[in-house]
Structure formats: C-alpha cells, structure tokens
Amino acid sequence: MKKQSKSKALSEKEGIPQPAHSSPDVAKQLISRRRRSATTEELVQGILAGDQTRLSRAITLIESKAAKHQDQARQVIEACLAHTNRSVRIGITGVPGVGKSSFIEQLGLQLVGQGHKLAVLAVDPSSSLSKGSILGDKTRMEELVKQPQAFIRPSASGTSLGGVAQKTRETILLCEAAGYDVILIETVGVGQSETAVHSMTDFFLLMKLAGAGDELQGIKRGIMEMADAIVINKADSENVKAAKLAKTEFNRALHLYPQKASGWTPKAFTCSSLKNQGIEEVWDVICNYIELVRDNGYFEQKRKEQNRYWLMQTIQDSLQQRFFDHPGIKEALDEQMSLMEQNKTTPFAAANYLLQLATIS
C-alpha cells in the first residue's frame, strides 16, 4: 500500500501518466526488479546525476529499519558527502491550516522558474499515526509536484523525533548531492519538532494567520525567538486589514527579543498564497539573510555548531536508550518512582541506585 503510493508519486513528479498495472503480480515484479538493480554504486551515481528514482530509493534505505539497508544507506551517504553542503536549508513552521502547502507551492514554482532545484522535506514525528499529515496529500502541491526540478518527499515515519530528525538530516545530504540547491523543511508544532528543524536549517520561517486581534496569544515557547522572519499568510480580500495589524504586532513582539547571533533583525511580512502576492518578497528576505550570514561567517559557523549539536544529541539519545533498555532497569525504575512518590527516596538517591545497575565497559 505504502510502496504503491510512493511509486505513484514518483511518476507524477516526472510528469508521465502512470499506466494501470495489469495485475498486482506485475506490480510486485516491477518493484522487485527495481530493488535488485539498486547497488550502492548505482545509487550514488544516480544521485550525483540527479536521478529522482535513485534518490528516492536511497532515502527509503535511510528510512528502513533493516540493518543491511542501514549499512547500505551509510555507504551511500559517505560516498555523497563530498558533494553536500551546497544548498540553502530553509525551515518552515506553522500550525495546520496556516497554508504551508500553498505557500510552498507558490514559492517553489517561483524558484524552479528561476532555475533553482528545490527539495521539499518534512519533519513530523506524528505522521506515522496520522498517516502522513504533512506533505502526505500531494494534491495540495499539484503544480509543484509536476516540476522535474522539484523533489517532494513526505516525512519519515517514526514515533521518536530523534529518529525522524536524523533521517531528515541524512536526506538533506542526499538531496544536496543530487544538486538541489534550495531545501525546504516543513514542520508543524508537534512537541519539539520545531527545535529539531531549526537545528538543521540556515533560515527559519514562522507562518502565522491574522486572527481577531489576539494574534499574539498562544505564542509557543521559544518558537518566536527562533524565527528569522514571520510571514502572515492569507493576507487577501477581507483579511488584508487584520493581516497588516498582525504584522505590526508581530514586529513589536520581535522587538522584545535580544539581538541575534547572526546579526540579523527578524521582521514580519504579509503574503497571500492564494493571490500569489508577497511570496517574492519573502524569498528576497531569505536571500538578504543568506548574503549577510555568508559575509559575516555565521552561515559556516552555524552549520558547524549544528553538526556538533547533532553529534552530542545522538550520543545522548543513544546512551539513554541503551540504559533504559538494559535488563532490569525498567522494573527498578518503576520501583524507585514509586518510592519517590511516597517520599521515601530522593530523585538523586533513586538515580544513583539505578545507575549502579548498569555500568559502562
């Protein structure tokens, strides 16, 4: 089921109407043939040549849980590394309904029109539950999907944000090796997914809607501070006035935050994806930002810091997983938690007790 929808999406992207499979057996055969042919060498060559089918196949390896797929994925990434790091990575966040898909469709069409190669990825750790709420419904980007210069890939599924984020980061590398020079990474505010996307992108765009004067209610913890720009979408027809007001209020709120390490001053903008207005300006803002941070060295510095962050984060996550998966820890943890609730032990005594049950060697 999943595989079918994947091959459908690829056909659409190449702009070729897909022939109806004569039978499920034929479909199976085709899939199996494609699988057999995908050696590491072929995948790498295909990716470097910009072949979307090979790129998709390699991303599927990254997303696979099978050890041999993981091994092959690692080899592919390693071979591609020298060709990475050449894109602008842009994070886009906003609540469902804010119009991220239409915005990305309009921005994407402009970018491919200008000769850019655009990859659209997503980080949505909940998508395994909702069956891919983000980018799942590609009809929402039906024009962009037809562009050969655009590559759209739904979020990796998985329940752990760490896992999903790692896969997305590795996917970015392959997309860069395949020549995509603009990478958009979309997310909704699920748990810490915005922090994860912020930590893998060069520019972070927060999308908002104008409301009934309470635009600033419900600002989520830390999200505004991460934004390099805020764009108020759906600034069209009767919304124009409210959007302008929201823009003023967001600019005021942005003013509350300290100067960014990038030297950049975030601002709010309005746009209408529906009427295709203001999208070009947002791209100009992104270009101005990239110019600034490439000049002052922050671009390079931030990417280095992000690498270090992901290295440390991966070690931390793995250490904890190993610890809590260790035999006997789960029961002991429950027991210590219960003692703690009864005020018979402290968090530190409980932690020390648990730590001596699993030692490192």
Residue numbers at the binding site for its own copies (CB under 8 A): 74, 77-78, 81-82, 84-85, 166, 169-170, 173, 216-222, 225, 253, 255-258, 304, 307-311, 313-316, 318-320, 322-323, 326, 336-337, 340-341, 343-352, 354-355, 358-361
Q: Which residues, in sequence order, are CB contacts of 232 under 8 Å at separation 6+?
A: 207, 208, 209, 210, 215, 243, 246, 247, 250, 268, 269, 270, 271
CA 74 – CA 51 distance, rounded (Å): 19
The residue (of 113 and 222) whose beta carbon lies closer to its own copies is 222
Closest CB to its own copies among residues 131, 308: 308
Of 20 and 256, nearer to its own copies (C-beta) is: 256
Query: Where do we find the tokens 């005021």?
Result: 252
Quote the strand ranges of 144-202, DSSP E.
Answer: 150-152, 182-187
Q: Which is nearer to its own copies, 216 or 240 (CB)?
A: 216
Three-class SS state of 351? helix
Instruction: Output the smallest distance, CB 164 to its own copies, in A.
Output: 13
- Compute the least distance from the CB of residue 74 to its own copies, in Å: 6
Give the shortest CB-294-to-its own copies separation in angstroms.
17
Q: How many CA atoms lie within 13 A of 191 on its CB side?
A: 14
Q: How far is the CB of 157 from its own copies (least distance, A)?
A: 18
CB of 18 to its own copies, least distance (A): 35
Given a contact cutoff of 8 angstroms between Cβ atoms, the answer to whether 202 and 90 are in contact is yes
Taking alpha carbons only, the member of 53, 61, 241, 88 closest to residue 176 is 88
Query: Which residues have C-beta within 8 Å of that of residue 302, sequence separation ≥ 6?
Result: 202, 262, 293
Task: State in angstroms the smallest separation of the CB of 104 from its own copies.
Answer: 26
Smallest distance, its own copies to C-beta of residue 361, A: 5
**Residue with smaller CB distance to its own copies, 104 or 156:** 156
Q: Region of 228 please: left (phi>0), alpha (psi -120 to 50) or beta.
A: alpha
Between the alpha carbon of residue 105 and those of residues 53, 141, 360, the distances in Å are 21, 5, 50
Looking at beta carbons only, is 9 or 177 nearer to its own copies? Answer: 177
Quick one: 22 or 217, whose CB is closer to its own copies? 217
Q: Is the dihedral of CA 264, 190, 163, 155 positive or negative?
A: negative
**Residue 127 Cβ vs its own copies, minimum distance, rounded to whole Å:** 21
Q: Helices (DSSP H) in 178-272: which residue ranges? A: 193-198, 223-226, 240-254
Nearer to its own copies, 129 or 337 (CB): 337
Whose tokens are 């998966």? That residue is 325
